[in-house]
Structure 1
Amino acid sequence: MRVISGLWRWRRNPLRRATDLAEAWVALVALVLMAVAAPVAGCLAGAAAQDSLQRSVREQRHTRHLVTATVVRDLGEAPLDTDPDTTTARETRSRVLAAWTAPDGSHRHGRALADLKSPHAGDHFRMWTDPHGRITARPLDSPTATTHAVLAGIGAALLAAGLVEGGRRLTVWRMVRRRYARWDQAWERAGPDWGKAGTGS
């Protein structure tokens, strides 16, 4: 609103310089771009991220399988959680030596993270594997993918607005530099005679 009032104020002002009007127009264009282009960029980026992430969700649902594993031996509490998106802070996961049957029917064994507080040999737990039985992270779910897409859209909109504002500031800075250069030239021309009696007569 201040930009529009600024344009109106400079419309017929006798003190108006060409650069004043140009600065006001630059600010108005930047405002319109921030109000229109930034949301459009955010929507496009969010939609593209949503398509890509939902495609990943569908692929992971087909390539990752939940299998039941049996604890062979406890290896102690896991120092770090490998899947922070899907595990709450209250869940404790333990490292165990486990055996399981892969979706392709082969028998597997190895180290795994079990969501058991105090695992004992023979305890069962569920974990995600690929079709060949290799341990993998749980598949991305649709709501999480949508959340990431929304965040990507917001980030793209903020980035577009920042670029527009940066372009506006750079343009105004160059205009001011040019104005100061013209003032310096004018003072240099008037400098030798400035303040002397009879100057300009």
Structure 2
Amino acid sequence: MRAIRGLWRWRHNPLRRTSDLVEAWVALVALLLILVAAPVIGSLVGGVAQDALQRVAKDQQAARHPVTATVVRKLDRSPLDTDPETTSGRDLRSRVLADWTAPDGTARQGAALAALTSPHHGDHFRIWTDAHGRIVARPLDSATATTHAVLAGFGAALLTAGAVEGGRRMIVWRMVRRRYARWDQAWDKAGPDWGRTGTGS
């Protein structure tokens, strides 16, 4: 962005090339796009993501139900797992065989992940099920949906800024290559003995 600082200086400078002025204007336009367009696009993407994720959260909260399950026994060689929705990765879960009653009143039994470090027969824990009693993931909550939407908007703004800066660099690179090509043509026209012109050699 050094070219922006030199934009005013280049206005009436006799050494100014057209490409110098164009490069400075390209840098200025890129800066304005980064400062204006990137936040606007980030805000739009974040708003769309917020609406979509809040609808998903509302649908999941309506379709999923918390149910109390009872441990029948711990399953052998059960891998420890973490719940991705908890704030701490230390909330270890054990794989157990459990009984529970579905929201429709039917009795169910199956493997489940219990938030118990050492589960015993008769221990209770909470699971989430659909209306038929099948175990499902915890529903998305409103705060998590908002966090994901903010991250989506921030990511979109960063991608926009990166794309603008990448475009600016590509334009400047092409201008520099064209400038070097013109210099090569000028050197070819001058010939190999340009420094000895008029010396009689």
Give the structure-2-normalised TM-score: 0.92
The aligned amino acid for 1:195 is: G
1:14-163 alignment, distance < 5 Å = 14-75=14-75, 78-81=78-81, 83-86=83-86, 88-163=88-163
Shift of 1:85: 2.1
8 Å contact from structure 1 (residues 78, 93) kept in 2: no
State the distance in 1 between where 2:172 and 2:197 align: 38
State the distance in 2 between where 1:78 and 1:90 align: 17
Shift of 1:93: 1.8
8 Å contact from structure 2 (residues 82, 90) kept in 1: no
Shift of 1:117: 2.7
* 1:196 lines up with 2:196 in the alignment: yes
The aligned amino acid for 1:182 is: R
1:165 paired residue number: 165
Provide structure 1 residue ranges, at least 5 long, that are not aligned to the other structure: none
Cα–Cα, structure 1 residues 60 and 85, in superposed 2: closer, same or farther, change >3 Å? Answer: same
8 Å contact from structure 1 (residues 71, 122) kept in 2: yes
Provide structure 2 residue ranges, at least 5 long, that are not aligned to the other structure: none
8 Å contact from structure 1 (residues 7, 21) kept in 2: yes
State the distance in 2 between where 1:80 and 1:120 align: 16
Q: Give the aligned CA root-mean-square deviation in angstroms.
A: 1.8
The aligned amino acid for 1:161 is: A
How many residues are matched? Answer: 199
Shift of 1:120: 1.9
Shift of 1:125: 1.4
Shift of 1:108: 1.0
Identity of aligned residues (%): 73
State the distance in 2 between where 1:77 and 1:145 align: 35
8 Å contact from structure 1 (residues 71, 123) kept in 2: yes
